[in-house]
Amino acid sequence: MVPKNYNYDDAGVNRRQRVESKKQLSMLQETYKQSLFGSVLKLPYGNIFPAGQNMYLDLVIEGVGTKVLIAQLIKKYDTIGVDAVAMAVNDVIRSGAKPLAIADNIHAQESNPELVKEWLTGVAKGAIESDCPVTGGEIGDVAEIINGLSQNAGFDMIVASVGTVDKKGIVTGENINPGDPIIGLASSGLHSNGITLARKILFKQWGGKFEPTDIPDGLNREIGIEVLEPTKIYVKPLLKLASKVKIKAAVHITGDAYTKFNNLTYASPGIGFKFDHFHPQPIFALMQKTAIELGYFISDEEMFKTFNMGWGFGIIVDKEDIDTAIGTLYQTGVETDVIGEITNKQTVEVVHNGKRMILT
């Protein structure tokens, strides 16, 4: 029996519809005229707005999606707040901005004090890792909206962060040239993206193979704990690097994974990307292996369009700055390497395990 091809659409996330939905954001451009200090500046991964003479603010709001269901499944709630902070601050630093403050918003079936304590434990830890205070937040009891796997334990978690960057420090994505290196900063595993697909392959709760306490071959801990591993926070390495070299582009490798690099062509037309250095954590290979055991097939292309595959953040610098960049990042303790380079082919090419793929 030929395994059925399985992708993000099959898991319940319609990529084509998401693309069409995002086109509706254009109607918000009418609001830009309300900016008090000048024009809103469009960047490859969002907009920043002026807040005075030569100073811009970057405001991001992000969530952790269905990773909250993993926390509920294994009844461990003290790390999910790290993910929420990471998703916001890792987006803020893409513009070169330093996060200034964080606010959280948690919608819950019930604001149980013990759960609230655990949720905020993770938020506080993530904020400290980001050198950023939590200055506000809200917890709403909305039992008619939120359902949970455990009684009265359902929740959704959103974090907003605002950062500041002076005009000369903005990472614009401009002047990227063929031959420029792409530097990868290691991930801690799945992070907070592609979880909908991962859940439906890995966990019996959603039609997959394993109980959350199982330790599959290739892992050294329970799979529930492995998937719940918090997203890495890259604030300190990125800001330290920005003080040493000119960063041409910074990419948080989240939803849509390596196809996200295509956004940079808006600022640097005519370029392409070749990635050829990966050592993904075992959880990624386990997912593909388990899919086959369930009668499905997840292609390598789908993996690189959905998951970070071992690198959670990408940075592009001038090739003359590569030694300084790698040395600076090494000092911060983050695992770092050159994972590819800029080309003139106007494609996203991935070479892995001897296979060449073009991501579309």
Residue 50 has pLDDT above 70, yes or no: yes
**Same-domain check for residues 65 and 131:** yes
Handedness of CA 45, 47, 51, 53 (dihedral sign): positive
Of 109, 135, 169, which marks where a domain is finished?
169
Of 125, 147, 169, which marks where a domain is finished?
169
State whether residue 118 is helix, strand or coil.
helix
Nearest to 6 by CA among 226, 283, 300, 218: 300
**Strand blocks (E) in the chain:** 4-5, 41-43, 46-50, 55-63, 98-108, 134-141, 155-166, 181-186, 247-252, 272-275, 296-297, 311-317, 336-343, 348-352, 355-359
Instruction: Give the Cα separation of 214 and 227 in Å (integer).
Output: 12
Q: What element of type H or E holds 331?
A: helix 322-331
What is the pTM assigned to this prediction? 0.95
CB 356 within 8 A of CB 270: no
Indicate which CATH number applies to the domain containing 97: 3.30.1330.10
Domain that holds residue 280: 181-359
Residue 28 lies in a domain: no
Mean of all residue pLDDT scores within the chain: 95
Distances (CA, A) of 340 to 156, 171, 267: 36, 20, 19
Residue 69 lies in a domain: yes
Q: How far is CA 213 from the centre of its chain?
A: 26
Please tell me the number of Cα atoms within 13 Å of 108 on its side-chain side. 21
**Same-domain check for residues 140 and 285:** no
Instruction: Give the Cα separation of 190 and 160 in Å (integer).
Output: 21
Segment 304-327 mean pLDDT:
97
52-92: pLDDT as tens digits: 889 999 999 999 999 999 999 999 999 999 999 999 999 99
138-161: pLDDT as tens digits: 999 999 899 877 777 899 999 999
**Same-domain check for residues 67 and 124:** yes
Count of domains forming the chain: 2
Residue 10 lies in a domain: no
Instruction: Give the Cα separation of 304 and 300 in Å (integer).
Output: 6
**Same-domain check for residues 161 and 197:** no
203-238: pLDDT as tens digits: 999 999 999 999 999 999 999 999 999 999 999 999
Residue 76 lies in a domain: yes
Confidence (pLDDT) at 34: 87
Residue 47 lies in a domain: yes
